[in-house]
Amino acid sequence: MERELRIWDLETGTHQKKYDLTSFTVESITTLKLAKAGTLFLGSKDTNIYQIDIVKGKLCIVYEGHWSRVHLTYLVPQRDILVTVAESNVKVWDLQYDECIKNMNEHTTVVIYCRLHHENPKNILTISQNYEYKVWNFTTSTVVESKKLNLEPDLQIEQADIS
């Protein structure tokens, strides 16, 4: 299986660069997030998050600590904060110091959605597969609000992205 990252110019549609990612991951990449200044975050089945400088084509940092595959990554706007999710485990990473600053485990099933809460920039919203809705203060890791969403019981959600 090829593990290549190809960079394209969106305006012209021309191919810019190609990177071989086989040295960055042992397993398949499960999620990616492009950040400012040419930084790419890759979540993988090997439980790590890789920070790659795509301008230089170099691996910068490997974030470790999840116990299963990382399937969601979220960058908090205007902050050096990365949120990663593996099953029901939510971790908050300080990108300035390259360390996990919060570890949140209040969901009972897989988290399928993670975004900044619209009312408070220090809160993130997560939704799990069994419709648990939680608002977290990511600086203290406390749950500010928790409720069960009332959705149809036959609806199965694997992953959601509401932008």
Give the pLDDT band (50/70/90) at residue 153. low
pLDDT at 97: 94
Average pLDDT over residues 123-128: 94
Lowest model confidence (mean pLDDT) among 38-47, 63-72, 129-138: 38-47
Q: What is the mean pLDDT of residues 125-137?
A: 93
Structure tokens at 95: 């990108």
- Is residue 82 within 8 A of residue 49, CB to CB? The reply is yes
Question: CA 85, CA 20: separation in Å to the nearest integer?
Answer: 25
Give pLDDT tens digits for 3-19: 677 778 888 988 877 77
Per the listing, tokens 């990365």 go with: 82
Who wins on pLDDT, 53 or 16? Answer: 53
pLDDT of 133 higher than 80: yes
- pLDDT more than 90, % of the chain: 47
Task: Report the alpha-carbon distance of residue 74 to residue 28 in Å, rounded.
Answer: 19
Pairwise pLDDT comparison (126 vs 34), residue with the higher score: 126
122: tokens are: 């220090």
CA distance 135 to 93: 17
Global confidence as pTM: 0.79
- Identify the residue with better confidence: 84 or 29: 84
| Structural domains in the chain plus CATH codes | 1-67 (2.40.10), 71-163 (2.40.10.480)
What Rg do the C-alpha atoms of the chain give, in angstroms?
17
**Torsion (CA) 104, 109, 110, 113 in degrees, nearest 10:** -70
**Residue 21 · residue 29 · CB < 8 Å:** yes
Tokens of 128: 């799990």
Q: pLDDT: is 75 or 57 the higher one? A: 75
* Mean pLDDT value of segment 9-35: 76
Tell me the percentage of the chain whose pLDDT exceeds 70.
87
